[in-house]
Each structure stands twice: as structure tokens, then as C-alpha cells.
Amino acid sequence: MTIQTRDFGRMEIQEEDVITFVSPIYGFEGFTRFVCLFDENNTHMVWLQSLDDSGLCFILADPAVVDGKYHPHIPKDLDQLLGEGERLFWLIMVVAPDFRDSTVNMKSPVVINPASCRAVQAILEEDYPIRKPLVRERGDV
Amino acid sequence: MLILSRKVGESLLIGDQIEVKVTEISGDRIRIGITAPKEYKIMRKELCQTMESNVAASSAPPRADLQGLWAALQAGGPGGAPKAGNPLRGGSSPAKAEPQTETEDGGPGGKPPEAP
């Protein structure tokens, strides 16, 4: 099916690529259906495009960019909602006017089960920052 | 900040309409009961911060900044326009839930794990 995206115009997607949030992205409770847009050359970023509102899109970062050992515990009630399958963690990025000031929310990752195509935003009990600088602490930038 | 000591079952009052009661202590966790008028919105601070962060994240960044981000995130630099699909079952699947073993290229900025 063809969808309208915020950043890339009209795009063709497959029905099986649609991800349903069974627990909402906080503050966006009415928006449950999303699709991931990505570039084959950059697996560290994903555009989480809403199907309910073409103007709504989040940019997600691979946690490995900020923490190679990030594998937090998902609260049990949310974990059950995801169903059987693996859990993929992505961090919602706040892109700053100067991209070097951009942050990711490590406290509240988006967790996706690719088998069930279900997703949640989990607020972790573990002590992770909500605004973790994405770039500043990397030595090679 | 005002700091008070309370035992389980004891409470304190904020103004004359709000009561905060310690109901249970277990390890480093404390259960708190709050009685307040309905018009007071009570939420965990991290939930409120997450909502604020989500709202900030939902505003469209200028493409130029994203190009810079791409370059910063990957030595290969900005790629072409993203395509539709499911990266989760496509050619790559970064950020797996399993504990990631520390390898030479497993650190920040390293290669994402290979697809299964």
C-alpha cells in the first residue's frame, strides 16, 4: 500500500511491515500504527512513521551508538503484551538545531517484537538517562 | 527541599487537601498512597519527562541536521533516501535484546550485529 510520509513523500510499504503499538508512545496515545523507514547504508537510524497521521514521525537510534551493552529489563506487564519473539530496542531521538546536541531517551526505549509486529514504549526501572547526548561523548566526532 | 522522616503507615499533608502516605517499604522501593482532589494530575516524574521528550522528538528536524547526524553516526557518511520496509526482518537487525558480548567492533559506533 502507498502511504504519505513526513520526510520522504509518498512511499510504498507492505502490510506486514506495519507495527502496532500495544502500549502507547507516551503523549501520543491515539497513534498506534507505524512503519519503520530506513536506509540500507545506515542501520543505526530508523524513521518511525505514523500511518494514522502522516505528519507524525519519530527518529530512532540504535542503542549501540551510545551503549554497546544496552540490554535493559522490560517491565513484565509490557513484556507480555509483546508476545513470543525477540525484543529489539530503539531509542527515540530528539534532534537538536545543532545535531551535535541531539539526545536519545535511554530511560524509555521503543521495544519491538519483529515476529508479532507489536511494539511498546517501556519506561525502565533501571537508572538510564532520558536525555543522553548522542554525539558529544563519542571520541571520533 | 523539605525532607521528613516517616514510618510505614504515617503520612504527611500538603496544604489541607493532599495527603501522602507511606504504605510499604521493601528494599529500595517505597509504596506511596496519595489522596488528592481529582483536579490534581499525579504522575511519575519519568513518565512526564518521557512525554515531554516524545513531544520534542516529534517535531521535524531540518534535513541538513539529519545529514550531519548520519555522517556522525556512521563513518560511511549519509546514504541515499531511506526506503520503506521492516529493518527488523530485513538485511540487518541492530540492537538485539540478547546480551551483547563485547567484541572489538561491538562498542559504540561499531558494526551492528549480523542478521540471524
- Radius of gyration, CA atoms only, chain A: 15
Strands (E), chain B: 11-14, 18-26, 29-35, 83-84
Dist CA A14 CA A12 (whole Å): 7
The reply to whether B27 touches chain A by the CB within 8 Å rule is: no
Question: B97 vs A71: CB contact, 8 Å cut-off?
Answer: yes
Give, in order, the Cα–Cα distances in Å from A140 to each of A63, A83, A99, B113: 17, 39, 15, 21
Pair A104, A90: CB distance under 8 Å:
no
Q: What is the pLDDT of residues A18-38, one digit of tens each?
A: 999 999 999 999 999 999 998
Query: What amino acid is encoded at A136 in this protein?
Result: R
**CA angle, A67 then A95 then A105, to 5°:** 40
Question: A89 vs B97: CB contact, 8 Å cut-off?
Answer: yes
Q: What is the pLDDT of residues B37-64, one digit of tens each?
A: 999 999 999 999 999 999 999 987 666 5
CB nearest A37 (choices: B58, B82, B95):
B82
Question: A102 vs B66: CB contact, 8 Å cut-off?
Answer: no
- Residue A87: list chain B partners with CB under 8 A: 96-97
Question: B54 vs A25: CB contact, 8 Å cut-off?
Answer: yes
CB nearest A94 (choices: B57, B94, B112):
B57
Per-residue pLDDT band for A102 (boundaries 50, 70, 90) equals confident
- Residue A43 CA, chain-centre distance (Å), reads 13
- Residue A42: list chain B partners with CB under 8 A: 70, 73-74, 76, 78-79
Arithmetic mean of pLDDT over chain B: 71
- Residue B61 CA, chain-centre distance (Å), reads 20
Q: Which residue has the cell 522522616?
A: B5
- Residue A95: list chain B partners with CB under 8 A: 57, 61, 65-66, 69
Measured between CA atoms, the residue of chain A closest to residue B29 is: A125
Measured between CA atoms, the residue of chain A closest to residue B79 is: A41
| ipTM for the predicted complex | 0.91
Measured between CA atoms, the residue of chain A closest to residue B60 is: A57
Dist CA A27 CA B46 (whole Å): 13
Dist CA B5 CA A120 (whole Å): 37
Q: Supply the pTM of this predicted model.
A: 0.76
Give, in order, the Cα–Cα distances in Å from A92 to each of A1, A21, B14, B55, B85: 26, 14, 36, 11, 19
The reply to whether B5 touches chain A by the CB within 8 Å rule is: no
Q: Of A65, A30, A29, which Cα lies nearest the Cα of A45?
A: A65
Measured between CA atoms, the residue of chain B closest to residue A119 is: B88
Helix (DSSP H) and strand (DSSP E) numbers for chain A: 1, 11
Q: What is the pLDDT of residues A37-67, one digit of tens each?
A: 987 777 788 999 999 999 999 999 999 988 9
Q: What is the pLDDT of residues A83-99, one digit of tens each?
A: 999 999 999 999 887 77
